[in-house]
Structures are given as C-alpha cells and as structure tokens.
Amino acid sequence: MKIPPLAIQRTALVTSVGLTAASSCAAFRAKLTNPRETRFKDADGGWILAHEVELDQPLRGLPKLARMAAMAISEALEDIPPQEWREIPLIVCVAEAGRPGRLAGLDDRLFAGIEEELQARFHPSSAIVAHGRAGVGVALSHARELIHGQSVPRVVIAATDSLLNAATLRSLTENARLLTPANSNGFMPGEGAGAVLLGSASGADALLITGLGFGVERAHIASDEPLRADGLVAAIRNALLDADAQMHDMDFRITDVSGEQYYFREASLALSRTLRQRKEDFDMWHPAECTGECGALAGIAVLALAESACRKAYTKGPRMLAHFSADTGQRAAVVCQWRGAS
C-alpha cells in the first residue's frame, strides 16, 4: 500500500544571506552571496573566504550551533504555542561521524543546548540524525513513520552545521577541496541552520514529499574507484518508485552540490542513467552557490527553496527531484510536488 505524502507546513532558515526563510530564499532567487575573509589561511597563505552567519553575540562551537538551530525552530513553530511543543518530535540533522573537526558532544549535548535556548521541551521520540548532507532523507523517513505509522500530528526536522573551525578547514585545505585562487575545483565553506514543520497532507497549499529513496556510493569522493553514480542512481530510482513517477515526470532538479566537479559529474551521470525520455530543459538548482557548503543544512535549504519557489510560482512546474550526497557515500533522493488548495 502506498504511503501517504508528507506536507511541509512551514520552513525556516538561518544563513549567511538571511536570518529567516523569506530573506534567505529571496537571496537564493536573486543569486546573492555574502562571503568574507576568515581568520584562517589556505595552503598558499591567503585568507580563506567563507559564508559566516553573523549573530548578535560572537558565539562559536556548540553554543553557536544550538543558537542557530533554536532561531530556525522558533521560526518554524511561530504559529504554535510553546506549551504545545512538548507534543512535537524534533529531529535534528548534524554532521556525519568521522568528519574532520566534528565537534565533541554533538550527539549528546546539542539537543539539550537547543532546548535550553528555547526554554522548551520536545516529544520523547525526538532524535539526532548524524548523516551530514544525506541526513534530511533519513529524517524525512523517520518523520513519515511518526506521522503515518504512529499518528503523531506534526514533526519538526531541523539541521545545524558549520565548517568554520580550524580542524575542518585544515583537513579541507590539505585535501584541496576549498575554492581558492589556485584551485577552481572546490567550494567555499559555510554554516547555518534551518527547520521544516511537517504534517499530513490537507487541502491547503503545500509542498508534498511523495517519494524517498536511498543508496550507498562505493566510489565516494575519497575513494579511488571509478565513479558510475551507482549509489545516487539507486536513491533516485527508489524515490521515483516510492512516488510512482518517472524521471521525465519531474520539472526540475534541486540539489546540494556546492562547487566540486565530482558532485556535478555524479549528478550528470545519474541523470543519464535515469532519464529515458528527452526533455528540452531540465534545470538543476543548487542553493549552496549562495550559502557555501553548509554540511547537514543542505537538505533543509533545498526544501525551503523548493517550497518558496512553488508558493511564489517561479518554478518551471510543480514536480521536482531533490538529491543529496554525503562525502562518506550515503545518498538520498526526495520527490516533491506542489499541490494547490482544492
């Protein structure tokens, strides 16, 4: 039996180009960007450019991640009284285990820090999802089980991440992954947070999550194996099957790619292996061109942009495929469809 879709009821973002979903998505649409020099240097001695979120207080580490997440969650739950938050599960996406510079205590202290920032408590089914950029797919799967399997009315998925610490930037520099004057095959690091409020589909205007799919890429970015995009192809095919759709049914794509040739090549290979009918145009959007590479935030940024673009009617159609690739090989794909009020 087909699983009913999820509906995105509200979105929230905290990025270097806006501290709300509305301002961030407006910047995405205008392709605005806001990088600035950090206090870190690249391999050639130049200052690393990055997308830093400016807050009222100069926070770092876990306190900053918790503050950014709390800001996003508060925006996503703006229409719900705080005393009702205890009945809402909160799923928080964070950096994958083993990422260089990953903050100690991320899995066991961050959640408490978020609740302290908000002065609120969430449902006991709340969880941390540590799968980096692919985490949003795992979180959506958890949310679908809670809403349709356990009759939980609403779920919040949040994400918070930062690549702006010495250990992470040192590793990225050593592996030539940063965009610098001497390296065009790289990205600018960033940080931020976001959240989406999910519920069952109703008659209201909403972006629906109609299909989820997962895969594992053996030829990940740190591997020496030849890339065929097997993991992403599997994730896309599984998501389309889950949504009872074909690739040519999609009107555009929106992804987490942030500048590295590997991930653009993977997306191209996956498209060539899943599209069976010619399409005149098949745009691929990537909000990381405005925010920089923000790790686990990528998935929420993609969903927020998709929802805003559909609501403001500047997409090429109501159906889209989102896909996400973690450095460690996890792949996730999400089929979305805009549905207007009936």
Q: Is residue 309 part of a domain?
A: yes
342 confidence band (pLDDT: 50, 70, 90): very low
341 confidence band (pLDDT: 50, 70, 90): low
Q: Is residue 1 part of a domain?
A: no
CATH number at residue 175: 3.40.47.10
Same structural domain, 157 and 15: yes
1 confidence band (pLDDT: 50, 70, 90): low
66 confidence band (pLDDT: 50, 70, 90): very high
Q: Which of 28, 330, 16 is nearest to 163 (CA)?
A: 16
> What one-letter code names the amino acid at 73?
I
Number of domains in the chain: 2
Same structural domain, 105 and 163: yes
Same structural domain, 17 and 146: yes
Same structural domain, 75 and 102: yes
Domain ends where: 181, 200, 219? 200
Cα dihedral 80, 83, 87, 90 sign: positive
Domain ends where: 200, 222, 249? 200
**Residue 73, both tokens:** 């969650």
Same structural domain, 185 and 239: no
Residues 311-340 have pLDDT tens digits of 999 998 999 999 999 999 999 999 999 998
How many other CB atoms sit within 10 Å of the CB of residue 97?
Answer: 12
CA–CA dist 73, 126 (Å, integer): 13
What pLDDT does 331 receive? 98
Same structural domain, 190 and 243: no
Q: Of all residues in the chain, what percent are helix, strand and coil, respectively (each to 5)? A: 35, 25, 40
Q: Is residue 212 part of a domain?
A: yes
What pLDDT does 217 receive? 97
Q: Is residue 286 part of a domain?
A: yes
Q: Is residue 275 part of a domain?
A: yes
Strand partners, 49: 37
Mean pLDDT of 210-224: 95
Residues 157-202 have pLDDT tens digits of 999 999 999 999 999 999 999 999 999 999 999 999 999 999 998 8
Same structural domain, 97 and 238: no
Q: Exposed (0-12), middle (13-18) or buried (19+): which is 58, by Cβ within 10 Å?
A: exposed
Q: Residue 37 is part of which domain span?
A: 6-200
Same structural domain, 186 and 210: no
Mean pLDDT of 93-113: 94
pTM of the model: 0.96
Evaluate if residue 88 carries a pLDDT over 70.
yes
How many other CB atoms sit within 10 Å of the CB of residue 158?
Answer: 27
Same structural domain, 322 and 271: yes
CA–CA dist 164, 60 (Å, integer): 9
Strand partners, 47: 41
Same structural domain, 48 and 98: yes
Same structural domain, 171 and 237: no
Q: Is residue 162 part of a domain?
A: yes
Say if CB 89 and CB 195 are below 8 A apart.
no
Domain ends where: 148, 172, 200? 200
What pLDDT does 42 receive? 87
Residues 17-61 have pLDDT tens digits of 999 999 999 999 999 999 999 989 888 889 999 999 999 988 999
Same structural domain, 166 and 231: no
Residues 226-276 have pLDDT tens digits of 999 999 999 999 999 999 999 999 999 999 999 999 999 999 999 999 999
203 confidence band (pLDDT: 50, 70, 90): confident
